[in-house]
Amino acid sequence: MLGVYNYTVVMTYVAMIVSFVGISYVLDGNYKEAILCLMVSGILDMFDGKVASTKKNRTSFEKNFGIQIDSMSDLICYGVLPAMIVYKLGCESKYVPAHNIVTAICACYLLCALIRLAFFNVDEAERQKGTTEERHIYKGLPVTSIALIMPAIYDICSVVKKPFSEYVGAAILIVCGIAFISPFKLIKPNLLGKIVLICVGIAEIAALFYY
């Protein structure tokens, strides 16, 4: 069969499937479950690179396939799924102009995520021509950040007893979309940073179930 099917890409495949399940939840109006799927995809993405790097005899084809398939999966997980959550919330609005504006914001967010991922692929390919060292600095906000940002805002809305409306979701997409394609530099989290992010994620999941 075409493609790669060893353990180096399994987590990426699972993350994409989980996000598809999340999209199906969105279509049914089950936003809490969709947010949970977004977070699970984010957790899987945090470890897929480390898992892949444990295979020392990967061919150049397998490495390049892993980079490409990761970005394609990310577009669904952190581009399409968050955009669909906000779009569906907009569909429930009785104010038609607001729905149209939210739809436009979702489309622009998805475009920003696409550009960001394509840029990362090209930039990473160019970087690897000169070094085999692990990347330490990102350019722009990684699209995976939405998997922590959107659930955090959702939890805050639940705590203060305010609805996670299309306006709140649209604001998140605007800020994150701009950050995706902004040329600022961001230090890649080390092991301690990843542990902190995992703890934040666990706290968000706990709040998701509690409220």
pLDDT tens per residue, range 33-89: 999 999 999 999 888 877 877 888 888 888 888 889 999 999 999 999 999 999 999
Q: Whole-prediction pTM value?
A: 0.92
Residues 10-37 have a mean pLDDT of 95
> What confidence score (pLDDT) does residue 172 get?
97
Between the alpha carbon of residue 119 and those of residues 15, 35, 76, 113, the distances in Å are 21, 27, 16, 10
The answer to whether 171 and 104 are in contact (CB under 8 A) is no
pLDDT for residue 16 is more than 90? yes
DSSP characters over 47-88: HHHHHHHT-TT--HHHHHHHHHHHHHHHIIIIIIHHHHHHHH
Residue pLDDT, tens place only, 164-208 = 999 999 999 999 999 999 999 988 888 788 888 888 988 998 988
Between the alpha carbon of residue 158 and those of residues 8, 113, 169, 195, the distances in Å are 37, 27, 14, 25
Q: What is the enclosing helix (H) or strand (E) of 139?
A: strand 137-139
Q: Is 29 left (phi over 0), alpha (psi -120 to 50) or beta?
A: left
Query: Which of 30-34, 47-51, 92-96, 139-143 is the least confident region?
Result: 92-96
The answer to whether 193 and 117 are in contact (CB under 8 A) is no
Q: Output 94 or 28, whichever has higher pLDDT.
A: 28
Instruction: Give which of 45, 107, 86 is closest to 172, Cα–Cα.
Output: 86
Q: At what angle do helices 10-27 and 31-53 cross, to 10 degrees?
A: 170
**Confidence band of 135 (pLDDT split at 50, 70, 90):** confident
**Alpha carbons 40 and 205: distance in angstroms, whole number:** 9
> What confidence score (pLDDT) does residue 173 get?
97
Query: Which of 20-24, 25-29, 61-65, 102-106 is the least confident region?
Result: 61-65
> What confidence score (pLDDT) does residue 146 get?
97
Question: Which residue in this structure is represented by tokens 């390049």?
Answer: 64
Instruction: Give which of 15, 82, 78 is closest to 48, Cα–Cα.
Output: 15
> What confidence score (pLDDT) does residue 125 get?
82
**Alpha carbons 173 and 2: distance in angstroms, whole number:** 35
pLDDT for residue 96 is more than 70? no
Residue pLDDT, tens place only, 100-118 = 899 999 999 999 999 999 9
**Alpha carbons 102 and 96: distance in angstroms, whole number:** 10
